Structure 1
Amino acid sequence: MKDYLSLRIGKRFSSFQLHKKTILFSLLALLIVIAVAVVSLGMGEMKIAPLDVVKVLLGIGSEENALIVEQFRLPRIVIAILVGAALAVAGAIMQGLVRNPLASPDILGVSGGASVFAVGFLILFETASIKWLPPIAFLGATLTTFLLYALSWKKGVTPLRLVMIGVGIKIAAGAIVTMLIMFSPFLLQNKALLWLTGSIYSVDWNDVFMILPWVVGLILVAVLLARRVNIQQLGDDLATSLGSSLQLDRFLLLMICAALTGTAVSVGGDISFVALLAPHIAKQLIGPSFGGAMTLSAFLGAIIVLLADLVGRMAFSPIEVPVGVFTSAIGAPFFIYLLYKNRNR
């Protein structure tokens, strides 16, 4: 047991063990997040050396560099970290609930529901303030999760029914979004399509302060409930026999997943495959326990979105390619690989 660190919060609320390997990989991932963020803060039309970026962050940089970094680039970097972490933890929860590495909020329709509400808002309320978009997307994700849970209920909710109903909701949501775009004016079509590809280029500090408490709070709750996700892996019969309130836990975890997804989608758009990639990589590195996998997934999700944003800004400069284009380019082949790997399950 020397390789494990035991953590307990309260007498009954949450307890789990972290392997030293989990701590090591999490610290390494955190360092990568910081390194990529510093490099990204220095990239743009006016390049700033990493050392000068660090000086700005420490409050000893030049006024010109401070203006560029703090007012124009840092909000985008913070949003990339928050969105990536939120999507990754939501994906870890979803994969744990359905006991399937192919599951994620975007594949099971939760992101699609948020997209329907967001695109509908952009097209039907074109004169309304864009600041209403985050709560609208959040509402869409939450209502879609309620619908997913209700349609999957038959003397309880099973992982198989969640997957089947979720895929159906995703297809229906995609069809609704397509219809909304087809019958809208050209300028509104471009606006909606840009949001759908997943883009964080226009965010500011107001967006950061709006989602920061939600993302941090929900991730902390998710990590504290990781033991309940582990119990879900035992199967319904065994988990129930051990005294687990299986259906209540499943509903609570689904709501956390929806809240994280809606929060991320509200400012980042429909960024695909981060919720699929990050948890799978985390479990490959440290094993199947969700206590450590959620924390590592959050860091990995942040890295994926940060790198996608950096490449999108610099690969075809001065043209910026949305984050979602690069995450899809990486995630789609990976999803096909997972399908092939799990074809006999």
Structure 2
Amino acid sequence: MTHNTLTLIMAGRRARRRRWLLVTSSLAALACILCGAMLMLGSTIYPVKDVIRALSGEQLKGVSFAVSTIRLPRMLAGLLAGFAFGLAGNTFQTMLRNPLANPNVIGITAGSSAAAVFCIVILHTSDAVVSVASVIAGLATVVLIYVLSRGRTFSVGRLILVGIAIQAMLNAVISYLLLVGAQQDIPAALRWLSGSLNGAQMDELPSLAITVLICAPIVIALGKHLGLLELGEQAATSLGVNADITRIVLILSSVCMIALATAATGPIAFVAFLSGPIAKRLVGVGFSNVIPAGLVGVNLVLAADLIGQFAFEVRFPVGIITGILGAPYLLFLLIRMNRKGDL
């Protein structure tokens, strides 16, 4: 390798690093702005100084209750859930080398949703029981999908097909539960299914926060191995990666985050699906887009919630806005994959 070639390689790497730093810092700054907007905006708009005083514990008439009790839990729920959805969705898409391989499409969130609807319309349980049941069901669903798709060797296509089949079955179960459920329970179930930050409570967030703080660093630390898995199992193994163990750790970490986020906010549509591709296009090649994908998820959830609250005469849950954004992209992706012969 000549000196000029090495110089060009190093220059290209520095340029990619600068781009990664610029994109990541810009996404983080945008997330901070949106967090501030979530705390300031509402039926009454409070100035920044009043918000800071309320968050510091000072009692201000009207401001303290609105900011600390209503807006802060809503903002934190969107922040944590968006990061979890973005990180986990990108992990599945990269590891399985398929943009369709995200928790929404392959049935993981459908498992959590079916359990939640069953608890709401049949058992009439509390919100805490709904959350626990949705987490357990999400974990059980991913284990079932992984076992059924395993075979003699791991197959991405088989996992996606099994996941889609499981999702269709669980969606049928949800429809049946809504059909036979009591009329007064249906609105609560539909609000949960649409994905919403309404009614977020501080006492519901510690479990999600702890899960994200534990699982997100694991996924980030395995980001390099995740990139090698994208090359294929044989290539990753030849480069010293234990593909099975790495895949299991990544799947378990991602599913835990997805399950807890779904339990806290409901299955916010398309955030896990959109975050990875957007981050990859912004960051480019050469560096991991794990952290940018999580930040894209945060920005999507917070921005969609603000749009749903203030852009229309009627307030819409965040899941409806993200669904409007994500559905056209899904159609575009399916058309492009069909033309390339990937379907």
Does the 8 Å CA contact 1:156/1:247 hold for their aligned counterparts? Answer: no
Does the 8 Å CA contact 2:205/2:264 hold for their aligned counterparts? Answer: no
SS at match of 2:29: helix
Match of 1:11 in 2: none
Does the 8 Å CA contact 2:195/2:268 hold for their aligned counterparts? Answer: yes
* Counterpart-to-counterpart distance in 2, 1:65 and 1:294: 37
Alignment of 1:31-180 (within 5 A): 31-57=29-55, 62-126=60-124, 128-180=125-177
Match of 1:322 in 2: 317
Q: Report the residue type matching 1:93 in the other structure.
A: T
Match of 1:26 in 2: 24
Q: Report the residue type matching 1:95 in the other structure.
A: Q
After superposition, give the CA deviation of every residue in 1:135-174 in whole Å (9 maximum; x if it has no partner): 2111111001000100001112111111111111111111
After superposition, give the CA deviation of every residue in 1:113-156 in whole Å (9 maximum; x if it has no partner): 11111111112210x22112222111111001000100001112
Does the 8 Å CA contact 1:90/1:275 hold for their aligned counterparts? Answer: yes
* Counterpart-to-counterpart distance in 1, 2:297 and 2:285: 17
In structure 2, the CA distance between the partners of 1:288 and 1:150, relative to structure 1 (3 Å rule), is farther
Deviation of 1:292 after TM superposition, in Å, equals: 3.2
Q: In terms of mean alpha carbon deviation, does 239-248 or 139-148 score higher?
A: 239-248
Which structure features the higher share of helix residues? 2
1:300 to 2:296 alignment: yes
1:230 to 2:222 alignment: no
* Runs of 5+ unmatched residues, structure 1: 6-17
After superposition, give the CA deviation of every residue in 1:160-209 in whole Å (9 maximum; x if it has no partner): 11111111111111111111111111111221111100111101111222
* Counterpart-to-counterpart distance in 1, 2:116 and 2:36: 32
Count of residue pairs the alignment pairs up? 330
1:204 to 2:204 alignment: no
SS at match of 2:101: coil
* Counterpart-to-counterpart distance in 2, 1:325 and 1:239: 39
Match of 2:282 in 1: 285
Q: In terms of mean alpha carbon deviation, does 36-45 or 74-83 score higher?
A: 36-45
Q: Report the residue type matching 1:24 in the other structure.
A: L
* Counterpart-to-counterpart distance in 1, 2:44 and 2:278: 34
Deviation of 1:86 after TM superposition, in Å, equals: 0.3
* Counterpart-to-counterpart distance in 2, 1:58 and 1:278: 33
Deviation of 1:61 after TM superposition, in Å, equals: 8.5
Q: In terms of mean alpha carbon deviation, does 236-245 or 199-208 score higher?
A: 236-245
Q: Report the residue type matching 1:180 in the other structure.
A: L
* Counterpart-to-counterpart distance in 2, 1:29 and 1:220: 18
Deviation of 1:262 after TM superposition, in Å, equals: 0.2
Give the alignment partner of residue 328 of structure 2, picking from 330, 333, 344.
333
After superposition, give the CA deviation of every residue in 1:313-338 in whole Å (9 maximum; x if it has no partner): 11335x43111100000000011112
* Runs of 5+ unmatched residues, structure 2: 1-9
* Counterpart-to-counterpart distance in 2, 1:60 and 1:39: 20
Q: Report the residue type matching 1:334 in the other structure.
A: Y
Does the 8 Å CA contact 2:227/2:288 hold for their aligned counterparts? Answer: no
Q: Report the residue type matching 1:113 in the other structure.
A: G
Deviation of 1:241 after TM superposition, in Å, equals: 2.8
Deviation of 1:110 after TM superposition, in Å, equals: 0.4
